[in-house]
Amino acid sequence: MNKKGIEVMVGCFVLLGLAGLLFLSLKAANLASFGERKGYTVTAKFDNIGGLKPRAPVRSAGVTVGRVKTIGLDPTTFQGVVTMEMDPGVKFPRDSSAKILTSGLLGDQFIGIEPGAEDKVLAAGDVISSTQSAVILENLIGQFLFNKAADGSGPAK
């Protein structure tokens, strides 16, 4: 094989490697789907959204059933308003609840949907009223330390 043929093969190998890196970076950033989804949107209000980000997954029973579309602040209640785009084939009862959960101890945050028992289902534009805010690890540690200091059960002197 001549020198030019080897250079072409090395160039193709490098391009294939760059395409693989691009694919992995898009998957890691939850940007693998470029098209507009054809789902329906629902909103939920949370007292604290923690580190939730747009494009975070919405899961039920561990299965991704949607994505976070936008996050904003309600100017009257000062709560975080999360708009979610749900897959069109998945319909949840209207009395379902939403929680902000964390993947693992220090992983990314996502919204977990727990289905209710009502016969009517969520439709486009509905609001999930039963919500649970994110658990902030720093607040838990601070509360634990404050309680230990108040009990006087610190280290022995």
Sketch the domain layout of the chain as residue ranges: 1-32, 40-143
Q: Listing from the earlier edge strand, what are the strands of the sheet with 97-102?
A: 127-128, 40-46, 80-86, 63-73, 57-60, 109-114, 97-102, 130-132
pLDDT score at 145: 83
Cα separation, 74 vs 46, in Å, equals 10
pLDDT score at 146: 81
pLDDT score at 75: 92
Helix (H, G, I), strand (E, B) or coil at 38: coil
pLDDT score at 125: 87
Cα four-point dihedral sign 86, 87, 92, 94: positive
pLDDT score at 1: 67
DSSP H helices, 30-76, are: none
What pTM was estimated for this model as a whole?
Answer: 0.68
pLDDT score at 4: 85
pLDDT score at 31: 61
pLDDT score at 131: 87
Which residues of the chain, if any, have pLDDT below 50? none
